[in-house]
Chains A and B, each alone.
Chain A
Amino acid sequence: MADITLFGDPIRTWGELPEIGTTAPGFTLVTNDLETVSLSDFKGVNLIINIFPSIDTSTCALSVRRFNEKGADLENTKILCVSRDLPFAQGRFCAAEGLENVVTLSDYRNDNFGENYGVMINGSKLSGLHSRAIVVIDENGIVKYTEQVAELKDEPDYDKALAALN
């Protein structure tokens, strides 16, 4: 359980982010084309997972844009933007914004990402959505860096996340 805040009010998540140095937990998520993908589909690739409550809120949208800007320069690295938005909402956003360097994935179907990565919000009006967090996984599937953003409306630390792979 992690204690975070929403506009200063305390809220909680169900669990903790995976520990640095451990093998990243598995997941199954849904693409904009309604296909399922698993962690094992990204084997051999570095992953920056940008996790947030909803793409239809401003900070989340900003984080997707910011990572999209940075994503083009990264070698052997994919940026996954993960939320419980429906795939159609994620697809609409990325198409409207012309974002091609990020992959948006939805955890709407069975919440296994939210549970395995400890990011499901519990006991607040945002319960059932993901907290704002970053998890960086190297090409061997090992967790290299995590950030649980302490205040949900704040942006994550983009530079630290990007530097974690150097």
Chain B
Amino acid sequence: MANITLGGNPITTIGELPAIGTKAPDFTLVKGDLSKASLAEFKGSRLVMNIFPSIDTGTCATSVRKFNEKAASLENTKVLCISRDTPFAMNRFCGAEGLADVMTLSDHKDGSFGRSYGLIITSGPLEGFLSRSVIVLDAEGNITYTEQVPDIKDEPDYEAALNSLENN
């Protein structure tokens, strides 16, 4: 269980982010075209997972735009934006904003990604959402960087996440 805050008020999550140096847990998520995505299909690419509560909130939308700006220049790296929004909501957002360099993936179906990565919020008004986090994987699927953003309303540290890729 992790203790974070929402606008200063304490809330909790279901677990801890995966430890650095460990193998990333497998997952099944839903793509914009409603097909399934699993960790295995990204093998050989480095992954930046940008995880957030809902694309229809200001900070989450900003994070998707910012990672999209950076994503085009990253070698052998995919940016996955993951939330419990429906795939339809994510498509609407990315279609309207013309964002092509990030892949949005939905954990709407059963929250299994959120549980295995320790991200489901378990108290407060955002109960059931994913907490705001960044997780970076190397091309072999090992965890190389994580950030659990301490207050849900704050943006993640984009530079630190991207810098972690330069050291791999």
A46 to B34, CA, bound (A): 36
Segment touching A, from B66-74, B97-105, B120-128, B142-150: B120-128
A35 to B57, CA, bound (A): 17
Q: Are A86 and B56 in contact (CB under 8 A)?
A: yes
A56 touches which of B54, B83, B91, B109 (Cβ 8 Å): B91
Q: What's the least CB distance linking A155 to chain B, in Å? A: 17
B26 at interface (Cβ–Cβ under 8 A)? no
A89 at interface (Cβ–Cβ under 8 A)? yes
- With A56-B91, A128-B108, A128-B110 as contacts: A89 and B56 at CB distance below 8 Å: yes
Q: What's the least CB distance linking B87 to chain A, in Å? A: 8
B9 at interface (Cβ–Cβ under 8 A)? no
Q: Are A34 and B125 in contact (CB under 8 A)?
A: yes
Contact mask for chain B residues 118-142; partner A; CB cutoff 8 A; 1 contact, 0 none: 0000000111110000000000000
Q: Are B86 and A84 in contact (CB under 8 A)?
A: yes
Is the interface on chain B under 10, 10 to 19, 20 to 34, or 35 or more residues?
Answer: 20 to 34
- With A56-B86, A89-B86, A89-B89 as contacts: A110 and B128 at CB distance below 8 Å: yes
Contacts of A34 in B (CB 8 A): 125-126
B88 touches which of A56, A88, A127 (Cβ 8 Å): A56
A-contacting residues, B19-72, CB 8 Å = 34-35, 54-57
Q: Are A108 and B57 in contact (CB under 8 A)?
A: no
A109 to B125, CA, bound (A): 11
Contacts of B125 in A (CB 8 A): 34-35
Closest to B124 in A: A34
Closest to B110 in A: A128
A85 to B55, CA, bound (A): 11
- With A84-B108, A108-B128, A125-B35 as contacts: A54 and B88 at CB distance below 8 Å: yes
Q: Are B86 and A85 in contact (CB under 8 A)?
A: yes
A129 at interface (Cβ–Cβ under 8 A)? yes
Contact mask for chain A residues 49-66; partner B; CB cutoff 8 A; 1 contact, 0 none: 000001111000000000
Contacts of A57 in B (CB 8 A): 88
B54 touches which of A89, A110, A128 (Cβ 8 Å): A89
A37 at interface (Cβ–Cβ under 8 A)? no
A108 to B83, CA, bound (A): 12
A126 at interface (Cβ–Cβ under 8 A)? yes
- With A84-B108, A86-B54, A88-B54 as contacts: A126 and B34 at CB distance below 8 Å: yes
Q: Are A108 and B84 in contact (CB under 8 A)?
A: yes
What are 19 contact pairs spanning A and B, CB under 8 A? A34-B126, A54-B88, A56-B88, A56-B89, A84-B86, A85-B88, A85-B89, A86-B54, A86-B85, A88-B56, A89-B54, A89-B85, A89-B89, A108-B108, A108-B128, A127-B109, A128-B110, A129-B86, A129-B108
**Ranked 9 nearest A-B pairs via Cβ:** A128-B109, A56-B88, A88-B56, A34-B125, A109-B128, A125-B34, A88-B54, A54-B88, A89-B89
Q: Which of B's residues lie within 8 Å of A, judged by CB?
A: 34-35, 54-57, 83-86, 88-89, 91-92, 108-110, 125-129
Q: Which of A's residues lie within 8 Å of B, judged by CB?
A: 34-35, 54-57, 84-89, 91-92, 108-110, 125-129
